[in-house]
Structure 1
Amino acid sequence: MTLGERLARGDEAALTECYGALGPLVRRVAARLVPGHAVDDVVQVVFLEVWQSRGRYDPSRALEPWVLSIARRRAIDRLRAEARHSRRTVPLEEDARIRDETPAIDIACDVREALGRLPAPQRQALVLAHFGQLTQPEIADRLAIPLGTVKARTTRGLRRLGTLL
């Protein structure tokens, strides 16, 4: 029985294994998106949601992308919460700086939509490289495909992403 199947069935030991296997990756994703002081909170919320949402997980699909999508959503939620908080507490003279940061969320939404329009192999390679912070050889090992295939998918995906954006 796979780790994902055990997790979906409610095996608490599977959650511990999931944290051990995917915790460092979730931490890297969170560290890229949220300030350092918020990384631990995001990781904790992610694995809490993994456990609470285990009934929605489809064990026939890969566990890692499911957990990483939760991580990315929770990190973005944290960024939005901090942005709302900072808007309430920032003096008026710094209001222009906040307006300059707001488009970053819009850009992130545009990138998310463009990623969704990529073919699945290209999207998978780019998500693992960018959000998972994996090197191309690590991606090749993880997906059990040749390094050249990873390079081609990444290159084509970036080109297509550029045209979509």
Structure 2
Amino acid sequence: MRIPWLRSVDTLAPPTHEELIRLVALGDEAAFAELYDAVAPRVFGLVRRVVRDPAQSQEVTQEVFIDIWTQASRYDADRGKAISWILVIAHRKAVDKVRASQASSDRDLRQGIKEFQESYDDVADTVETRLEAERVNKALETLTAPQQEAIRLAYYGGYTHQEVADFLKIPVGTVKTRIRDGMIRLRDRLGVA
């Protein structure tokens, strides 16, 4: 049984997140359980805001705590608070999950397009579609990185302006401005009336 951390002679205080991380790094399962109870709601909340799907959010949250258990010795108190370190891990895992899901969706879409194109007999239309897609992609590359990111999320990712703003952690107005300015530049670049 662990002895509670003694802060002063008169006051018994629960261990801090930093102290719990140090104990977890030493393999203390009770400290890990206590840390889990203390921070799991915040971790899940962050993951849920990024991933959105409850079941996937639970999976990602579990992965976060596996990383905390295996990487606790990497925590450096001089670089910041333990909760910040934990939330950075959570955010990275959540973003990775979103990217993996998007990549899977993109692969499925590419496969569906490929199967459609293979079954389509009109070679001229297929060539024209590919050329237009390449033209649009080249035009997209001329945009600023923030404009590209906002347009890709909104038009290729299917996110609403609010979802793009939440994902990028910027105001909705900024998202709309980036998309509008990017679309104007695309229109000018592509010569669309």
State the TM-score, normalizing by the size of structure 1: 0.56
Matches of 1:102 and 1:55 in 2, distance apart? 40
Higher-Rg structure is: 2
Q: Does 1:42 align with 2:60?
A: yes
Q: Percent identity?
A: 30
- RMSD over aligned Cα, in angstroms? 3.7
Matches of 1:97 and 1:8 in 2, distance apart? 38
Q: Which residue of 1 aligns with 2:157?
A: 101
Contact 1:30 1:43 in 2 (8 A): yes
Matches of 2:50 and 2:62 in 1, distance apart? 15
* Correspondent of 1:3 among 20, 24, 30: 20
Equivalences for residues 48-87 of structure 1 within 5 A: 48-60=66-78, 61-87=80-106
What is the identity, as a one-letter code, of the residue corresponding to 1:57? Y
What is the identity, as a one-letter code, of the residue corresponding to 2:38? A
Matches of 2:30 and 2:153 in 1, distance apart? 46
State the secondary structure of the residue aligned to 1:53: helix
Q: What is the CA-CA distance between 1:40 and the residue it aligns to?
A: 0.8
What is the identity, as a one-letter code, of the residue corresponding to 1:76? V
Ranked by relative contact order (alpha carbons within 8 Å, sequence separation 6 or more), the top structure is: 1
Q: Which runs of 5+ in 2 are unaligned?
A: 6-18, 117-132, 134-151, 179-193
Aligned length: 113
State the secondary structure of the residue aligned to 2:157: helix
